[in-house]
């Protein structure tokens, strides 16, 4: 090895040692005839000091450019108390350089390497120089985080007697949920392979073959448009088990996530995870994958309107299988008419005839339907929905299957990006 240590390894206990480091010049400073270089590798950073008269290496150091690759040898020395850099793990030491080898001088950089400044640079430029962009501490950190997560997942599954098995990615075209990427066959002109959308058929074959427990970090390919949770190619933890019930699967997945969070982020997450029945999720949130952090839940008002003079709600409340439901979108009473129309279109797309609402502004309830409510109904609504100034309440009165989606304001279609998403 050209180096004896990484740029994050040395501490005050190493003072007096002669060491060799190799890395990239992160920053350079010339102070009072002394040149300071922060030398960086993927593990961290160490300050190197070039003093005048040390075999001319200080003059060479002065000509170094940021991101040049150098190799230095020198002695570790502890920094004085007033010069300690608490932001660096190696901030209590520095290297007094005795020799310098320049492996490569960097050309002028196309963009600054500082994380905050680089984030403001056009993404196309950063992708053009991806090898530079990946040197940034934030991006290196993301790569290391991904590697830690994969290591934790493998360790957990290996400990559960799973076999990691690599399956082919070139496969016969089979109907699945998305279009396939096709690869022409050189040996069979006019015929094509398909890149696998998932290892589904392979893992079923492995179960029939008696493997019982299989996993892999599977590359998957789907020829479809980009979405927030989907890319043309991605990696998924793919696994299959035989001779189990759903409790076994719950326990396995909880164990994987618990270990991954602990080993990557140092966070202990409690297990078993909270569970919610499908019916409860639909009744409370109108969706089978609710984000419970928002706390805005659908309220059932069917019993309240059984004797109402408002015919729409009265009819739904007294029809078997139909419900009256509402959600309070806290603080959204200032939505524009265009945004309100968008919400109404969402409700109609789910099968509703419309979307009734009440705005609460300056202590006054504004809505075409308020005049049909009795004082007792208004008081009950205010209490059950916790209606306050600035809120807007949306109603649905329909058969349960229609009221379920139309009474939930879609978190995936907020009126503007600046508004809070609601369940």
pLDDT 10s digits, 238-289: 999 999 999 999 999 999 999 999 999 999 999 999 999 999 999 998 888 8
205 with 214: CB under 8 angstroms? no
The full DSSP string for 388-414 is -TT-EEEEEEEEHHHHHHHTS--TTS-
Residue range 136-146, pLDDT digits in tens: 989 999 999 99
At 204 the pLDDT is 95
Question: Is residue 384 a contact partner of residue 300, using CB atoms and an 8 Å limit?
Answer: no
Maximal CA-CA distance, the chain: 97
**Can you tell me the distance from the alpha carbon of 46 to that of 70, in angstroms, rounded to the nearest whole number?**
13
pTM here is 0.79
Annotation: CATH topology of 142-265? BirA Bifunctional Protein; domain 2 (3.30.930)
Q: Do domains 12-104 and 295-406 have the same CATH topology?
A: no
346 or 155: which leads in pLDDT:
155
Q: Which pLDDT band, with edges at 50, 70 and 90, does 353 fall under?
A: confident
Residue 211 · residue 236 · CB < 8 Å: no
Question: What's the whole-number average pLDDT of the chain?
Answer: 90
Mean pLDDT, residues 397-405 taken together: 81
pLDDT of residue 340: 87
What are the extents of the domains in the chain? 12-104, 142-265, 295-406
Q: Decide: residue 376, CB within 10 A, 0-12 exposed, 13-18 middle, 19+ buried.
A: exposed
pLDDT for the residue numbered 412: 34
Which of the pair, 230 or 314, is modelled with greater confidence? 314
**Which of 334, 331, 325 has the alpha carbon at shortest distance from 391?**
331
pLDDT at 421: 34
Tell the CATH superfamily of the 12-104 domain: Nucleic acid-binding proteins (2.40.50.140)
**CATH architecture of residue range(s) 295-406:** 2-Layer Sandwich (3.30)
Is the per-residue pLDDT at 406 higher than 70?
Answer: no
pLDDT at position 32 over 50:
yes
């Amino acid at each position: 090895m050209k180096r004896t240590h990484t740029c994050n390894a040395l501490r005050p206990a190493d003072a007096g040692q002669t060491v060799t480091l190799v890395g990239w010049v992160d920053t350079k400073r010339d102070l009072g005839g002394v040149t300071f270089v922060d030398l960086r590798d993927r593990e961290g950073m160490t300050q190197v000091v070039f003093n005048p008269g040390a075999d001319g290496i200080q003059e060479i150091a002065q000509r170094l450019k940021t991101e040049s690759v150098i190799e230095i040898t020198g002695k570790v020395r502890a920094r004085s108390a007033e010069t300690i850099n608490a932001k660096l793990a190696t901030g209590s030491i520095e290297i007094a350089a005795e020799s310098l080898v320049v492996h490569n001088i960097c050309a002028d950089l196309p963009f600054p390497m500082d994380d905050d400044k680089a984030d403001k640079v056009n993404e196309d430029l950063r992708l053009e120089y991806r090898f530079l962009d990946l040197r940034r501490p934030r991006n290196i950190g993301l790569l290391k985080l991904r590697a830690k997560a994969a290591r934790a997942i493998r360790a957990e599954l290996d400990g559960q007697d799973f076999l990691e098995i690599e399956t082919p990615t070139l496969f016969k075209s089979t109907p699945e949920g998305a279009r396939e990427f096709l690869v022409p066959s050189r040996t069979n002109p006019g015929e094509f392979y398909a890149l696998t959308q998932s290892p589904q058929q392979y893992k079923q074959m492995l179960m029939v073959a008696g493997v019982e427990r299989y996993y892999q970090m599977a590359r998957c390919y789907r020829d479809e448009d980009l979405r927030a949770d989907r890319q043309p190619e991605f990696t998924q933890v793919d696994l299959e088990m035989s001779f189990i019930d759903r409790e076994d699967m719950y326990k396995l997945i909880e164990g994987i996530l618990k270990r991954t969070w602990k080993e990557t982020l140092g966070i202990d997450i409690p297990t078993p995870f909270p569970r919610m029945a499908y019916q409860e999720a639909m009744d409370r949130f109108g969706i089978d994958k609710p984000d419970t952090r928002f706390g805005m839940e659908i309220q059932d008002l069917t019993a309240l309107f059984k004797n109402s003079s408002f015919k729409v709600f009265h009819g739904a409340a007294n029809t078997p299988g139909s419900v009256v439901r509402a959600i309070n979108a806290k603080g959204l009473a200032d939505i524009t008419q265009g945004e309100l129309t968008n919400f109404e279109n969402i409700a109609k797309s789910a099968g509703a005839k419309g979307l009734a609402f009440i705005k609460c502004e300056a202590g006054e309830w504004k809505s075409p339907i308020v005049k049909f409510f009795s004082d007792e109904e208004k008081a009950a609504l205010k209490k059950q929905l916790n209606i306050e100034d600035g809120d807007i309440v949306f109603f649905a009165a329909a058969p349960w299957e229609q009221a379920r989606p139309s009474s939930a304001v879609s978190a995936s279609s907020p009126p503007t990006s600046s508004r809070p998403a609601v369940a």
